[in-house]
């Protein structure tokens, strides 16, 4: 929060970061579910006396915030989405403490996935997946709400149907035009919902989890194209735009989508010496490298969305 102190502008917040919690739900039929969350909490207050007068009477201890995460996880008797848990935490801090004017809760969910044995889903066996489900919830004491969901580390790759040509050339340009290359990225995506209060959120169990899975599918399907033949990508920029557009077209309950798509390079290997006696690999052996890599990102919003 911004305050004026002794002729200066002073911004402050405090919280607890990297609070790791796992919650297991056990049904009567023997089926278990588990989530593992890495929680970050920031509380905004008007109090500055802890900084200026050595007075801690207005502070919520960060250790209390940590304990609250575990207590609230215990209270969740039914499986819920990471977004719903973040909202519960934010509501707790803004409603219980008079000093707290807003709470920001960020959570990263570790991707534990149920395993299958001989084609049958295991009752209590899980393996670690790759991409992570993220959320950020900002809740003010007034009830104003902003919910953002996202994906971190969604690795996508296709071995053909990608090119890059017709770009600006100058004396430093060495890259040749191509209509045949590997396209690979490590996608980070985030999207915001239009809900401005807790009461406007659809009352549907695991609503946010279902939307996360659906958005992830649209992003991947757009990147790859149809199973037979795929879809040509003239640039990472073009593919990114179509991915973002399809998210907004497919989900009216999403207001804004942001995509970050580093261009992970797969460089064709060709070994040669002065006599050209070493074999040419003909674009079937590559050197994968992400240092350096291209950096492409963009945000697409509806006209009525609030950024």
Q: How far apart are CA 38 and CA 20, in angstroms?
A: 5
Residue 181 labeled ligand binder = yes
Which residues, 6+ apart, have CB-to-CB distance to 281 below 8 Å? 268, 269, 270, 271
Which residues, 6+ apart, have CB-to-CB distance to 34 below 8 Å? 22, 23, 24, 25, 112, 126
Residue 208 labeled ligand binder = no
Residue 164 labeled ligand binder = yes
User: Would you call 265 a catalytic residue per the annotation?
Assistant: yes
Of 14, 1, 13, 12, which Cα lies nearest the Cα of 62?
Answer: 14
Give how far Cα 185 sits from Cα of 153, 197, 248, 256, Å: 9, 35, 21, 21
Contact 251, 211 (CB under 8 A): yes
Residue 54 labeled ligand binder = no
Bridge partners, residue 257, by sequence:
191, 300
Backbone φ, ψ for residue 306 (5° rounding): -100, 115
> Out of 14, 32, 62, 161, which one is annotated catalytic?
62
User: Would you call 122 a catalytic residue per the annotation?
Assistant: no
Contact 219, 260 (CB under 8 A): no
Residue 63 labeled ligand binder = yes
What is the per-residue burial (b if ≥16 Cβ within 10 Å, else e) of 97-132?
A: beebbbbbbbbbbebeeeeeeeeeeeeeeeeeeebb
User: How much is the CA Rg of the chain, to the nearest whole Å?
Assistant: 24
Which residues, 6+ apart, have CB-to-CB distance to 174 below 8 Å? none
User: Would you call 242 a catalytic residue per the annotation?
Assistant: no
Backbone φ, ψ for residue 27 (5° rounding): -85, 165
Give the CA diameter of the chain.
Answer: 80
> Out of 14, 32, 216, 265, which one is annotated catalytic?
265
- Residues making up the annotated binding site are 62-63, 164, 181, 236-237, 263
Residues catalogued as catalytic: 16, 62, 265
- Residues making up the annotated binding site for urate are 62-63, 164, 181, 236-237, 263
- Residues making up the annotated binding site for O2 are 62, 263
């Amino acid at each position: 929060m911004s305050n004026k102190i002794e002729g200066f502008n002073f911004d402050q917040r405090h919280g607890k970061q990297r609070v790791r919690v796992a919650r297991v739900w056990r049904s009567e039929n023997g089926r278990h579910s588990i989530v593992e969350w890495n929680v970050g909490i920031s509380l905004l207050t008007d109090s500055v006396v802890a900084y200026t007068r050595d007075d801690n009477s207005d502070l919520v201890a960060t250790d209390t915030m940590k304990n609250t995460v575990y207590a609230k996880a215990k209270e969740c008797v039914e499986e819920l989405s990471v977004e719903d848990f973040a909202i519960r935490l934010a509501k707790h801090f803004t409603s219980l403490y008079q000093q707290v004017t807003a709470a920001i809760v960020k959570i990263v969910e570790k991707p534990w996935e149920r395993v299958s044995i001989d084609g049958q889903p295991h009752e209590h066996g899980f393996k670690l997946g790759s991409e992570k489900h993220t959320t950020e919830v900002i809740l003010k004491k007034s009830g104003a709400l902003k919910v953002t969901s996202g994906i971190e580390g969604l690795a996508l790759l296709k071995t053909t149907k990608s090119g890059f040509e017709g770009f600006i050339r100058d004396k430093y340009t060495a890259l040749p035009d191509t209509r045949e290359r590997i396209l690979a990225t490590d996608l980070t995506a985030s999207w915001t919902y239009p809900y401005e209060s807790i009461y406007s959120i659809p009352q549907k169990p695991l609503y946010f989890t279902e939307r996360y899975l659906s958005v992830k599918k649209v992003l991947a399907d757009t990147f790859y194209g149809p199973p037979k033949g795929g879809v040509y990508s003239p640039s990472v920029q073009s593919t990114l735009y179509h991915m973002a557009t399809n998210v907004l077209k497919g989900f009216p309950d999403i207001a804004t989508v942001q995509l970050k798509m580093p261009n992970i390079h797969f460089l064709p290997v060709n070994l040669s010496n002065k006599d050209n006696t070493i074999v040419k690999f003909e674009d079937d052996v590559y050197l994968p490298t992400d240092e350096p890599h291209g950096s492409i990102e963009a945000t697409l919003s509806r006209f009525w969305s609030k950024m």
